[in-house]
Chain A
């Protein structure tokens, strides 16, 4: 099983690849809406991408108010 740090690192890499942003520009405590410049529909895209990658199901209501990569990683880690 992934450690929390591995999960976070994979999320940052996936987000960078999916939204075509240099990986080094993304930091764990960044607000991903601002850093990635994404809207709500693109956030759902990211959620689907992460669910497919980690093979987990993450109810979107658990993401209400979540805007940084570290907290997002914690939510996923709890379902691995």
Chain B
């Protein structure tokens, strides 16, 4: 079922080249498995859109969604910067800008749907949870982290801001001083720190995040679904206006030559530490 041999179809159990999902006992498990570290590019996005369509049909039967990675390096290293660079180099500037906006709007639709889904969503993370990977986790209601998880918003080093809804969701969930620290320094931080600042709800031992997420999902299954959905809707507003503004700011920044230079530097880097901001 791996390696893109099976086409994704809407339904309760599907596998693609980047991700797979299964619905069992009221819990949807979405597994990410695009090597090297689940970078989010056009193929992943297409599969996420299929998952989003399936989620709408599955959510009547589910009370929880768990998103996790099957890959050792981590949960998700964020946007596929190599694809972004190659695509924007291959076309005219205006077309590249349109392509970026289209990509952002599509991924925002997926993440907004996960964010607002009437079931409890859990990101079970380990290892690298950077950029778009952190933004995916932030769309979930709970983040359960392996103690070896590492989080980061490295976008400023490229002359960009997070573009997959990270800033509005971070602002929704954390204090503004913490948001400024994480965004403006671009430093990475571990799971203990993530729990201290209120980003992560549980820190567990190495290799235990998925087990802990499943235990949490089993507990959630004891509650009335409609009550849980009503509580979530009341507690967790979707910052629509800021999400739209984030796309605009990202696109304005993306048009600057410094960004293309930053992307080229990353793609062509032979630095032993390209992931260190």
Contact = CB atoms under 8 A, between A and B. Distances in A.
The answer to whether A and B come from one shared complex is: yes
Interface of A: 33, 39-41, 43-45, 47-49, 51-52, 57, 59-61, 63-64, 67
Contacts of B148: 45, 48-49, 52
A40 B272 contact: yes
Contact of A61 (B147, B274, B275, B277): B277
Contacts of B190: 48, 51-52, 57
Contact of B276 (A45, A51, A52, A61): A61
A57 B193 contact: yes
Contacts of B192: 51-52
Interface residues of B, number: 28
Contacts of B276: 40, 43-44, 60-61, 63-64
A37 to B, nearest CB: 11
B187 interface: yes
Given A57-B189, A60-B187, A44 B274 contact: no
B219 interface: no
Cβ-closest 5 pairs across A and B = A40-B275, A59-B187, A60-B276, A33-B272, A40-B273
A61 B37 contact: no
Interface string B178-209: 00000001111111110000000000000000
Given A41-B128, A44-B188, A52-B190, 11 more contacts: A40-B273, A40-B274, A41-B36, A41-B127, A41-B275, A44-B276, A48-B191, A51-B190, A52-B148, A57-B193, A61-B277
Nearest to A64: B276
A52 B272 contact: no
A10 B37 CA distance: 30
A33 B274 CA distance: 13
Contacts, number: 63
B275 to A, nearest CB: 4
Contact of A45 (B36, B37, B127, B277): B127
A22 to B, nearest CB: 22
B272 A39 contact: yes
A43 B272 contact: yes
A69 to B, nearest CB: 15
User: Which of A48, A51, A59, A61 is packed against the most chain B CB atoms within 10 Å?
Assistant: A48
Contacts of B74: 41
Contacts of A49: 148
A61 B150 contact: no
20 contacts: A33-B272, A41-B73, A41-B275, A43-B275, A43-B276, A44-B128, A44-B276, A47-B150, A48-B150, A52-B147, A52-B148, A52-B190, A52-B192, A57-B193, A59-B185, A60-B188, A60-B276, A61-B185, A61-B277, A67-B272
A49 B149 CA distance: 10
A40 B185 CA distance: 19
B247 to A, nearest CB: 28
Contact of B273 (A45, A48, A64): A64
B273 A43 contact: yes
Interface in B143-197: 147-150, 152, 185-193
Nearest to B269: A40
